[in-house]
Amino acid sequence: MTVTNEQLLVNRLTLLLEINASINSTVELSELLQKIINVAAIVVSAEASSLALVDPAANELVFQFAHGSAEDVVRSIRVPIGEGISGWVAHYGVSVLIADAQNDPRFLRKVDDKSHFVTRSVLCVPLRRNQVITGVLQALNKRGGGAFTEEDQLIFEALANIAAIAIENAQLYGTLQQKMQEIEQSKKRSDSILQQLEQSEREIAQMRTLSAAGGTLAGDLSVFRVENLVQMLSNDYKSGCLRLTGEIESGAIYFDKGKLVHAEVASYGLKGDMALYDMMCWQEGGFSFVEGEAAPQQTLKGMAMALVIEGLRRLDEYNVLKVKLPLVSAPRHVDFSQDSQFSNTTKTNLNLDHRKIVLLQLIDGHRTIQEILEKAHLDRFSVLSSISELQAAGLVAAS
């Protein structure tokens, strides 16, 4: 090795040290990946570079970021583990130096075909943490022609090691931030429920005063909330039927010596806790309590307070969901039949339970969510939350 080459190697290693400091000071994942991609092309003098992470659920490489003329195309590519040069490296965990990519049997031409980029030489190395392959780092086309060298490979593998550690740290940081946000949201919901329970005590006292004065219990749901009525009747060991009339529906909740025994919303075909939770979302209409009316069947078990608290949680989330998904809107299906990769990934990551299957059968782009609710035999929180999940998965779009 000549003095010039030694000095060049020292310069490149010095650059790696600077890169290491910069990368490890970045905790936001997308910013980190972009930094890695930008420097990857520099350290080995490549025309283009890309980074892909393993999606274990789909057994695919997902290209997160790219640098070079094919950047936009590469970002949309998913490669099955074992296919193409990058998939081969991810499968075997071995770096490759390829001087003539066009004649390599592992070469996938779809990126070149889509981007009009001509790949000549390839340097691809695995990203590895704790003996597990987490992705690949790739450089394309040595600047000035020719092929990548073993020295390039050495430098690139060092960068990949730095990148793998930094990516893991950024992912852990992202997970921690998400958990902290979830805890904060949970605290806000708990505080909201506590405030509602405190307000409930005041409303219950007012209802008892009205009931004692008039001998009957009846009123407006815009003034007295359903959960407060349920709490009062349960605490007072009442037996009878609380009849509710919503904006376009009606329902009933039965008590036996303060215990909740049955709930139904006949217009939606709902019974039990699903009916109770749906009625707790009713904020307009009227109510009346018929003393002594017996339940036709038993569909509810458990403490009234526990059911009320769960209902309040659903109500809190329902109030957020109904802003994004108004009952008058008509969701439609998204046609992705031509995109098999998206289809397979969606099926893998989304749990198509009974509720979602029922809703997919009812969604047609014409029925409003209110009309779907009337046919689905599901409470409104379940309908809106499931449609929201289908929308997030790309299966359903807003009208």
CATH number at residue 26: 3.30.450.40
Amino acid at 270: L
Position 348 scores a pLDDT of 45
Same domain, 359 and 314: no
Where a domain ends, among 306, 321, 336? 321
- pTM for this predicted structure: 0.50
Q: What is the mean pLDDT of each run of 10 residues along the chain (399 residues)?
A: 56 63 64 76 86 88 67 68 92 92 88 80 91 90 87 86 80 80 79 69 62 65 86 89 89 95 92 94 90 93 88 88 90 65 48 87 92 91 92 84
pLDDT computed for residue 72 by the predictor:
56
Judge whether 204 lies within some domain.
no
Note whether 345 and 296 are same-domain residues. no
Render the burial of 104-113: b for 16+ CB within 10 Å, e for the rest: eebbbeebbe
Residue 294 lies in a domain: yes
Domain identity same for 103 and 83: yes
- Residue 273 has what pLDDT? 93
| Cβ atoms of residues 374 and 267 within 8 Å | yes
Task: Choose the final residue of a domain: 290, 321, 352.
Answer: 321
Q: Residue 144 is part of which domain span?
A: 3-176
Nearest in space to 219 (alpha carbons), one of 282, 291, 279, 288: 288
Q: Is residue 207 part of a domain?
A: no
| pLDDT for the residue numbered 333 | 86
Q: How many domains in the chain?
A: 3
In this prediction, residue 265 carries a pLDDT of: 94
State residue 9's pLDDT score: 59
How far apart CA 307 and CA 230 sit, in angstroms, is: 10
- Chain segment 69-108, per-residue pLDDT in tens: 555 555 667 889 999 999 999 999 999 999 998 999 999 8
Has residue 182 been placed in a domain? no
pLDDT of residue 34: 76
Instruction: Decide if 233 is inside a domain.
Output: yes
Residue 187 lies in a domain: no
Contact 377, 270 (CB under 8 A): yes
69 within some domain: yes
Closest to 95 measured CA to CA, from 115, 122, 75? 122
Same domain, 280 and 313: yes
Q: Out of 286, 321, 356, pick the residue that ends a domain.
A: 321
Q: Are residues 316 and 342 in the same domain?
A: no
Note whether residue 188 is domain-resident.
Answer: no
